[in-house]
Amino acid sequence: MKGFSAIAAVGFVVLGTIGAQAAPAYCDHHTDPYANVVSVFFDAFIAAPIQTPVTCTVSVPSDGLAPGEFSAIKADYRGALSTDATGNMVVTTGGHTASVTLQTGPDEPIDGYFFTDYFAGNGTAFDASTTLALLDSPGDGEFVLETIDFLEVRTTSDAVQASADQLAADRTSAVTHLNATADLLAGAGQTLEGTDSLGGVGGVGSATVGVTGRKSLGSGFSLLGGAAFVDQTAGGAKTSGLVFSGTARYVTPGDALLRPFGEVGLHVAPALSLSFTRQYATNGGMATATGAASGSFFGGYLKGGVLVAPDPSNDIVFAATLGKDWLSTGAYSETLSGSNLFAASSPAQTGSFDTVKLGAEWTTRLVPQLEVTVSGAVGRTIAENTVSSDVAFAGSFTGAARSENFVEYGLRAGHDIVEGTNVGVFVHGTTGDYSGTHLQVGGDLHVRF
């Protein structure tokens, strides 16, 4: 991908007079050695109170666009405006026109940055016409344009499409790891059966701080659940907010070797702060863009399996899980800038996801006061919806639904420090195709009653 040509031609037109003699505007310039920036320096492009507006036109060449290539141009205008003055600048570049009015106070002149303009390039030379007018000023005031810096950035349809697909993958990443956090709150790493308890849980790596509890209803039925504030990053997605999770569980009573169990669970995060990150290739290297959105997450699952208890010191659980989730995101937008000229935005939309998972847990009691649980699972998060987005200077793109395979793994050691009080340390992680590794290391405290 190329950009501006290595040589640029400059011309000028000046309208108006100072007294009886025209004041010429000199439009010297040079080309940046990286070949995608043209800087134009003006020797005497000045609007004074007694002048009519002055206009200078700069002709900037550009290499042709290849098939499937897009061009966007950022123009920075700098100069000076004297104190207690009002100046108006009108710029026209290749059919695109922008107007800005600048004002200064009695002791606040402008010396430097005026404003930035953005427009699409079409791979051909364009005329950049600038008109200055000093609308109001003391008798010796001036409105001066000193430089224009034109930065051209190019990308391709394939590069933008890949980044749109990444926005879709980010949503899948968020769902995979929110589910893992919900599992942690609903008893992951704890024994399938247990007495009533209430406690707290905290983790780092992906910050989690919350409370969990268990309530026995008798005849094999129990309720488990919790709530926590989470702040986690998975792949290109960052998620923070309150997550609530709960499950109703039934374990066949008795002491048989094989005891079937089943449970139904719900989880919800009603007010999430979300951000998504994508990358796309340009003629200046890889561009990274991040935008923010609000959102919510809710869903449920069915889980069933068998508890194998070969002896009083060991429990082995085999389970299969089928889940359904929805992730709703508000309007998403990125900041248009020189580092992200192809900024993306997306309307509010809701995606649905299915999760299938097979897992196993082994809990062993090394001594009556110490138990260790090792867990593992393999699964797949199935995305059902595409993600639409509009990309500045490139058009509309649809990110393909991105499903991912993942593995979960955990290790917890819990010790009864006194009768009825258990302190545990744990590692709980998930690794997915797009979401990467989300690892939580933390501890918990449960008081039984």
Residue-wise pLDDT tens digits, 10-30:
333 333 333 323 344 456 655
Tell me, yes or no, whether 120 and 185 share the same domain.
no
Indicate which CATH number applies to the domain containing 37: 2.60.120
pLDDT in the model for residue 14: 33
Write out the residue range of the structural domain in which residue 365 sits: 156-448
Res. 367 pLDDT band, cuts 50 70 90 = confident
**14 in Cβ contact with 55 (< 8 Å):** yes
Tokens of 252: 């066949």
Indicate which CATH number applies to the domain containing 250: 2.40.128.130
- For residue 150, being part of any structural domain is answered with no
pLDDT in the model for residue 208: 92
pLDDT in the model for residue 29: 57
Tell me, yes or no, whether 161 and 58 share the same domain.
no
Tell me, yes or no, whether 249 and 221 share the same domain.
yes
Tell me, yes or no, whether 399 and 442 share the same domain.
yes
Q: Is 153 helix (H, G, I), strand (E, B) or coil?
A: strand
pLDDT in the model for residue 17: 31
Domain boundary among 112, 141, 170: 141
CA triple 269-272-277, angle to 5 deg: 130
Strand partners, 81: 110, 143
Tell me, yes or no, whether 180 and 110 share the same domain.
no
Type of residue at 15: L
Q: What is the pLDDT of residues 393-423, one digit of tens each?
A: 999 999 999 999 999 999 999 999 998 899 9
Res. 38 pLDDT band, cuts 50 70 90 = confident
Cβ neighbours of residue 160 under 8 Å, at least 6 residues apart?
70, 280, 342, 391, 394, 397
Give the residue with greater pLDDT, 62 vs 307: 307
Tell me, yes or no, whether 165 and 243 share the same domain.
yes
pLDDT in the model for residue 5: 42
| Pairwise CA distance, residues 172 & 251, whole Å | 32
**Across the chain, what does the average pLDDT equal?**
90
Tell me, yes or no, whether 80 and 134 share the same domain.
yes
Tell me, yes or no, whether 342 and 368 share the same domain.
yes
Cβ neighbours of residue 389 under 8 Å, at least 6 residues apart?
164, 167, 332, 344, 345, 346, 396, 397, 398, 399
Tell me, yes or no, whether 193 and 274 share the same domain.
yes
| Pairwise CA distance, residues 342 & 323, whole Å | 36
pLDDT mean over 210-224: 96
- For residue 335, being part of any structural domain is answered with yes
Tokens of 312: 């009083």
pLDDT in the model for residue 349: 96
Strand partners, 311: 314
Q: Is 171 helix (H, G, I), strand (E, B) or coil?
A: helix
**25 in Cβ contact with 146 (< 8 Å):** no
CA atoms within 13 A on the CB side of 158: 5
pLDDT of residue 280 exceeding 70: yes
Q: Is 192 helix (H, G, I), strand (E, B) or coil?
A: coil
Domain boundary among 92, 109, 141: 141
- For residue 70, being part of any structural domain is answered with yes
Domain boundary among 141, 169, 188: 141
pLDDT of residue 67 exceeding 80: yes
- For residue 8, being part of any structural domain is answered with no
| Pairwise CA distance, residues 203 & 208, whole Å | 5
Q: What is the pLDDT of residues 302-344, one digit of tens each?
A: 999 999 999 999 999 999 999 999 999 999 999 999 999 999 9
Give the residue with greater pLDDT, 164 vs 22: 164
Tokens of 425: 């340390």
Res. 3 pLDDT band, cuts 50 70 90 = low
pLDDT in the model for residue 342: 98
| Of 174-183, 186-195, 229-238, 409-418, minimum mean pLDDT range | 186-195
pLDDT in the model for residue 263: 97
pLDDT mean over 227-251: 96
Give the residue with greater pLDDT, 280 vs 32: 280
- For residue 437, being part of any structural domain is answered with yes
Tell me, yes or no, whether 419 and 443 share the same domain.
yes
Tell me, yes or no, whether 160 and 89 share the same domain.
no
- For residue 4, being part of any structural domain is answered with no
Q: For strand 110-121 and strand 37-41, is the pairing parallel, antiparallel, or unpaired?
A: unpaired
CA triple 97-98-101, angle to 5 deg: 145
Looking up tokens 């979300």 gives 274
Cα 294 to Cα 94, 198, 275, distances in angstroms = 37, 31, 8
- For residue 22, being part of any structural domain is answered with no
- For residue 368, being part of any structural domain is answered with yes
Give the residue with greater pLDDT, 43 vs 13: 43
Dihedral, CA of residue 441, residue 447, residue 448 and residue 449, to nearest 10: -160
CA 6 remoteness from chain centre: 36
| Pairwise CA distance, residues 407 & 305, whole Å | 18
- The number of folded domains in the chain is 2
pLDDT in the model for residue 145: 93
Tell me, yes or no, whether 276 and 364 share the same domain.
yes
